[in-house]
Amino acid sequence: MKPGLWTDRDSILEPSRVLWGTVNPHRLRIVRTHIARGERILDVGCARGHYVKALRELGCRTVGLDLTRHDEWDMLRQGAFVVASVQALPFRDCSFDTVVAFEVLEHTLDCYAAAAEVARVSRRLAIASVPNCEIPPEFATAGLTFYHWTDPSHRWFFTEKSLESLLRSAGFVSVDIGRINAVSPAVLFLSSMRLPAALATVLGKALRHVPGSRRYCMTLIAVASGKVRAP
Q: State how far the Cα of 49 lies from the Cα of 169, in Å rounded to an integer.
A: 29
- Is residue 204 one of the residues assigned to a domain? no
**What are the DSSP E strand ranges found in 77-191?**
81-83, 96-102, 122-131, 172-183
CA neighbor of 102 nearest in space, from 8, 12, 219: 219
Residue 77 resides in a domain? yes
Most confident range, picked from 16-20, 148-152, 174-178, 195-199: 174-178
- Provide the domain limits for residue 16: 9-130+152-181+222-226
* Residue 136 confidence (pLDDT) above 80: no
Name the strands in the sheet holding 122-131, side by side, starting at the edge strand that comes first in the sequence.
81-83, 61-66, 40-44, 96-102, 122-131, 216-227, 172-183
Give the pLDDT band of residue 39 (cuts 50, 70, 90): very high
Q: How many domains would you assign to the chain?
A: 1
The residue with greater pLDDT, 62 or 17, is 62
Q: Is residue 111 part of a domain?
A: yes
Q: What is the pLDDT of residues 155-202, one digit of tens each?
A: 999 999 999 999 999 999 999 999 998 776 665 655 666 777 777 666
Q: Which of 55, 146, 47 is nearest to 104 (CA)?
A: 47
Domain for residue 141, yes or no?
no
Distance CA 47, CA 37 (A): 23
Give the whole-angstrom CA distance, residue 76 versus residue 44: 17
Average pLDDT of the residues in 78-96: 92
Q: Is residue 213 part of a domain?
A: no
Least confident among 67-76, 93-102, 112-121, 170-179: 67-76
- Residues 6 or more apart whose CB falls under 8 angstroms from that of 219 comprise 26, 129, 130, 131, 132, 179, 180, 181
Q: Where are the alpha helices (DSSP H) in 159-220?
A: 160-169, 185-192, 197-207
Question: Is residue 96 domain-resident?
Answer: yes
- Identify the residue with better confidence: 17 or 153: 153
CATH of the domain at 158: 3.40.50.150
The predicted structure's pLDDT at residue 225:
96
Looking at the domain assignment, is residue 145 inside a domain? no
Element (H, E) at 111: helix 111-121
| pTM score, whole prediction | 0.80
Is residue 3 domain-resident? no
**How many other CB atoms are found less than 10 A from the CB of residue 97?**
18
